[in-house]
Chain A
Amino acid sequence: MTALSADTTPVRASGASARLTAGWHAADGPASLAEHTELYGPLPAHLGGLHGRRRGETLADLVLAAGLTGRGGAGFPTGRKMQTVASARGPAVVVANGMESEPASQKDQALLSRAPHLVLDGINLAARATGAQVAHLCLARNRSGLTTGVLAALAERERAGLDGVPILVHELPHNYVSSEETALVHWLNGGEAKPTATPPRPFERGVRKHPTLIDNVETLAHVALIARRGPEWFRSAGLAGGAGTMLVTVSGAAGLPGVYEVEVGTRFADILALAQPDPGSSGVLVGGYFGTWHQIGVLAQLPFSAEGLKPAAASPGAGIIHLLPPDSCGLVEAARVLRFLADQGAQQCGPCIFGLPAVADDLAQLAAGRPEGDPLDRLERRLGQIAGRGACRHPDGAVRMAASALSAFAADVAGHARRQPCRAAGPQLRSARLPAPPGGWR
């Protein structure tokens, strides 16, 4: 395990788990095409779409057999999504989502800044698998260094004549909801980077009304390895029923914060141990700002996978673990995250325009120990009314996060409601430092 000296996110891989990170965990710049090819071998030429292939032999079939699920947070089976788009009417479009708008996640930036060719291989393969004529890679506008590296990698590939379809790189406004898949489609179609009402979902009618495959960049990097090594190889990693490896971002009260590649289903405590958690830390946010708060002990023995975390009503999301420092208050942090999410909404739907600011106020009053009326009573009523009523899942994620804080920090809730002094030494999470006003939508 090596830490980086550069100002980029430390990436740490542990032995057998290193697949995506093999060879680049100690790098401080993007791998060249030559280095990439030496490490992983050439991009397979024989895998294609549905036409002229027997059942079970298409790339989508291989990806389905591998059991790869989306690494952007939703966890949908990638192969099934590919099959759906490949068999839809008309030419398809591929969109790679490298926005990483989740403040507690660093893994997509780490991946793109070290192994851009792995992601670009995945885009190339996804385009072939779906018969797409064009592919788009969406990045956040305020990360120009990342974009520069990706464009340089694309130029290398162009000189080598590697990609059959054009891969267009876009820099989108960096708002929390702008990475939602309908927001990407809306922006690529000339609109604002805000979610739109569904149906239609992008796989039915997306970019320029074509069936559109949208995958997270880490997901596509796994596709690039499945195409080379096969589904059996992919499944040879994975514990407790999980398939393959995943990138996990550990931040907060840890001696070795950073991005880790671990087997899906690795015991939660074993992932924490890699990052050397502060022994006094007890509260943890899992899954990111759309995730849930817990006491570490509740999760310790559970496998880190969508299935494994279910008993605790948690989900890995995009592979995110944030450890609360011992001198911080979970309610204070949850209130900050909720305020951030309320500010970052697209302000299109009632639940987002009115609901989220209202519950953010309630939680802030509770966290500050300055309740007006009964904020807890209001929260219990309002949190149940907001979910499922926006065009996208933004309000759902925000209220789930808030509700989990009330239950994980129930003892603090009781104390705060009685106006007892809070043990928080001050704000700890990155949300406290994030600029609230979004940088526009177009």
Chain B
Amino acid sequence: MNLRLRVDPIACTGHGLCADLAPELVQLDEWGYPILADDVPPALAVHARRAVRACPTLALKLGRAERGAGQAQNRRDHGPQRSHGSRRN
């Protein structure tokens, strides 16, 4: 079962703790808002959980990676910054 980080973009106010605690999974855009990696590899699950617990606005969540509606949110759809996803796979 693959895990995936999700962020509620309305609740998120860009504190950026997630990127400090799980830099392999979370990058920040130039305004300090998270850009999330694709699935969380098992080895990084502990970092992902730590980032979720630290989020001051409870915006970050860890759940199962499911296909279907709503999955595109806060992923790197396209654009130059794909490095994390491709490095691990």
Contact = CB atoms under 8 A, between A and B. Distances in A.
Interface of A: 196-199, 201, 348-351, 353-355, 358, 381-385, 387-391
Contacts of A353: 31
Contacts of A355: 29, 31
B79 A385 contact: yes
21 contacts: A197-B9, A198-B69, A201-B69, A201-B70, A348-B9, A349-B9, A350-B12, A350-B14, A350-B29, A351-B33, A382-B30, A383-B79, A384-B77, A384-B78, A384-B79, A384-B81, A385-B76, A388-B73, A389-B29, A389-B74, A390-B9
A352 to B, nearest CB: 9
A348 B10 contact: yes
B10 A385 contact: no
B20 interface: no
A348 B74 CA distance: 15
A418 to B, nearest CB: 25
A388 B72 CA distance: 6
Contacts, number: 65
A354 B35 contact: no
- Which interface residue of A199, A387, A389 has the most chain B CB atoms within 10 A? A389
B8 A350 contact: no
Nearest to B7: A389
A351 B75 CA distance: 13
B contact patch SS = loop
Interface residues of B, number: 24
Contact of B11 (A197, A198, A387, A388): A197
Contacts of A381: 79-80
B61 to A, nearest CB: 11
A151 to B, nearest CB: 34
Given A197-B11, A198-B70, A349-B10, A389 B78 contact: no
Contacts of B14: 350
Contacts of B33: 349-351, 354, 389
A348 B31 CA distance: 14
A388 B12 contact: no
Contacts of B12: 349-350
Those 3 A-B pairs whose CB atoms lie nearest each other, nearest first: A384-B79, A350-B33, A354-B31
A387 B78 contact: yes
Contact of A389 (B11, B35, B70, B80): B35
Contacts of B69: 198-199, 201
Contacts of B32: 350
B66 to A, nearest CB: 10
B78 A199 contact: no
A166 B72 CA distance: 37
B6 to A, nearest CB: 10
